[in-house]
Amino acid sequence: MIQNSVPYKEKSIVFIGFMGSGKTTIGEAVAKKLYRDFIDIDQTIESEYGLSVTEIFNQYGEEEFREREKALIKKYSLHRLKVISVGGGAFLQEEIRNTCLENCIVFFLDLSWDSWKDRLDILVESRPVLQGRSIDDIRELFYNRKGIYALHNSKLNTDDLNVEEVSQYVIDSLKTSWELYN
């Protein structure tokens, strides 16, 4: 659990990126290829509460969700050999950024606004942060968030790539870094 003594190859991998950028799907695929456990922080919170993220926001408030998100990420980022997907707002919290960047390999799944905006309709119901916002507000949020995702170890633009292509790219890039830094 003391990360400085954890070999680079055993560090957990954290996926960051905007809502609906495929962090859960890619995280699961990468975990399977690496024979690692996969942890989705939003799903963990949802099962703890027995509620969806939208319901948690409505019943308990965003602040409580963010506290739980922080506590879980601080805990799991200290584990070895995991693949972790964190919500798109997690990196807004400095403590989360710090623990992930200090203890894990952080992978940013990027995509262009043009590719992302077509996903809005299927995302809005399950993403309280998008609800009640105009498309212009959402575009602004999308570009503002790029600033926090800029803090990463590795990045891939996923426009036009399928799940297999993205997960294979991630694995290849991890293998290269394991060879370089081991």
Question: CA 179, CA 177: separation in Å to the nearest integer?
Answer: 5
Candidate residues 28, 49, 60, 128; the one interacting with ligand S3P per rule CB under 6 A: 128
Q: Which is nearer to ligand S3P, 6 or 130 (CB)?
A: 130
53 binds ligand S3P (CB under 6 A): yes
- Give percent helix, percent strand, percent coil of the chain, each to the nearest 5: 60, 15, 25
Q: Which single residue is written with the structure tokens 């399950």?
A: 126
Q: In terms of CB distance, is 63 or 179 closer to ligand S3P?
A: 63
- Binds ligand S3P by CB under 6 A, chosen from 129, 138, 166, 174: 129
84 near ligand S3P (CB under 6 A)? no
C-alpha pair distances (Å), 116 with each of 109, 122, 134, 163:
12, 11, 15, 15
Q: Does 100 bind ligand S3P (CB under 6 A)?
A: no
**89 touches ligand S3P (CB under 6 A):** yes
Query: DSSP characters for 15-47?
Result: EE-STTSSHHHHHHHHHHHHT-EEEEHHHHHHH
- The residues that touch ligand S3P, with contacts defined as CB under 6 A, are 19-20, 23, 42, 53, 87-89, 127-129
Binding site listing: 20-25, 42, 66, 88, 127, 145
